[in-house]
Amino acid sequence: MAVAAGEYEIGRQTGRLLLRTFRQGVAARVGHDLLIEATLWQGHVTVPADSATRPAVSVRVDLGALKVLEGTGGVKPLSDGDKQQIQQTMHKLLKVDGHRDATFTSTGVELHDDSAIVAGELTLVGQTRPLRLEVRQQDDVTVAGTASLVQSQWGIKPYSGFFGALKLRDAVDVEFTVALPRG
């Protein structure tokens, strides 16, 4: 990757952080696949000028500020009330009252021509586990990436309803796009 060396402050003002959930189970067609945005997050990226120093990334996400943007599929569209109910359920499942923030801190970065693998540790609901981000350079100043977060690895029981007939897939897709403008 050819991002300019420097220190970068990132967050909602420089990019987007999205979560995608997917339904499964015999009643999956009544539920919705959700697109959720982290509306309060911030981080710091260090891109060293020399190869002797490793790049570093740290991010903090306020889980209380996750917002349901849309739901696809299902037998009827999501109402505003449905979205509010989903957000309340997320707060309960993510134990927001006791663990409001999720944090990611890189432990290593493997650079390639126009991509990178960022290994790190994600602390979620009070538990820290490894997480890998796949990052690619989109243009001179923009990077985008993905990760797959398996909820049960952090002790989170994926949502289920209708006596278990409708379930949320254990893996949640994380997507981000961040501008790292040259200063």
Domain ranges of the chain: 6-179
Could you tell me the two tokens for 128?
């820290």
Q: Which residues, at least 6 apart from 138, have a Cβ–Cβ distance to it below 8 Å?
A: 144, 177
**Is CATH 2.40.128.110 what the domain over 6-179 is classified as, yes or no?**
yes
State the Cα–Cα distance between residues 58 and 9, nearest whole angstrom. 10
Six token digits for residue 6:
């420097």
Better-predicted residue by pLDDT, 9 or 158: 9
- Summarised one tens digit per residue, pLDDT across range 15-71 is 999 999 998 776 567 788 899 999 999 999 998 988 778 899 999 999 999 999 999
Residue 87, pLDDT above cutoff 70? yes
- Which residue in the block uniquely carries the two structure tokens 């959720």? 36
pLDDT of residue 23: 85
What is the reported pLDDT for 137?
Answer: 93
H-helix or E-strand containing 89?
helix 80-93
3-class DSSP assignment, residue 118: strand
In whole numbers, what is the pLDDT of the chain averaged over residues? 90
